[in-house]
Chain A
Amino acid sequence: EDQVTQSPEALRLQEGESSSLNCSYTVSGLRGLFWYRQDPGKGPEFLFTLYSAGEEKEKERLKATLTKKESFLHITAPKPEDSATYLCAPQRGGATNKLIFGTGTLLAVQP
């Protein structure tokens, strides 16, 4: 059965304090792994897709990496505007583009 676990559930950082969020997954036939940012009451905002182990992608203060069992979202020198819930979602290959979401990590960055 497909499983996605994100940790920690919540993370509080001081502005400028770098850290990493973890996404562990068990999904057969992985096609890609997606990261989204979600602000309260809003829809998820696309950040990255990773397709193969060893791949890395960067966007501003965020860098996502992928292994065969985990993905990490590294946040370097975060700012208060980075506060949001970060969702990880593996996608299995097949006839649909269904995403299997974790419960997310709620990040709060204090000035």
Chain B
Amino acid sequence: DAGVTQSPTHLIKTRGQHVTLRCSPISGHKSVSWYQQVLGQGPQFIFQYYEKEERGRGNFPDRFSARQFPNYSSELNVNALLLGDSALYLCASSLVGLAGAWSTGELFFGEGSRLTVL
């Protein structure tokens, strides 16, 4: 079974540019979350989407945005890149229980997109 897939795996951008990262969840999973992992730190929550709607947003500036498509895949967009945006961007998918009850709470991560901003 295919796991969470992310693209591109690596990319290099310069300051001020824009980047789009893509994620396909595990088949049947309707929730997608994005995390940023800076070297030497644990992942930090950026967004969660479920059924194309934003469910939660972490403490990130408005330069970060995301969306979820009808097939449950997702994009993370970052505008006006800064050096500090260099990180591993992780996508995670999960099943969602009824009425907000997370009957299956496990989040499964992809291998990430390594972004370097020069």
On chain A, which size bracket covers the interface?
20 to 34
A101 located at the interface, meaning its Cβ lies under 8 Å from any Cβ of chain B in the complex: yes
Contact with B along A33-75 (1 / 0, CB 8 A): 0101000011111100100000000000000000000000000
Q: Is the CB of B107 within 8 A of A43?
A: no
| B contact residues, range | 20 to 34
Contact B105 A97 (CB under 8 A): yes
Task: Output the residue of B58, B106, B114 with the most chain A CB within 10 A.
Answer: B106
Assess the B102–A44 pair: CB atoms within 8 A: no
> How far apart are A55's CB and chain B's nearest CB, in angstroms?
13
List residues of B whose CB falls within 8 A of some A CB. Answer: 4, 31, 33, 35, 40-45, 48, 55-56, 58, 88, 90, 94, 96, 100, 102, 105-112, 114
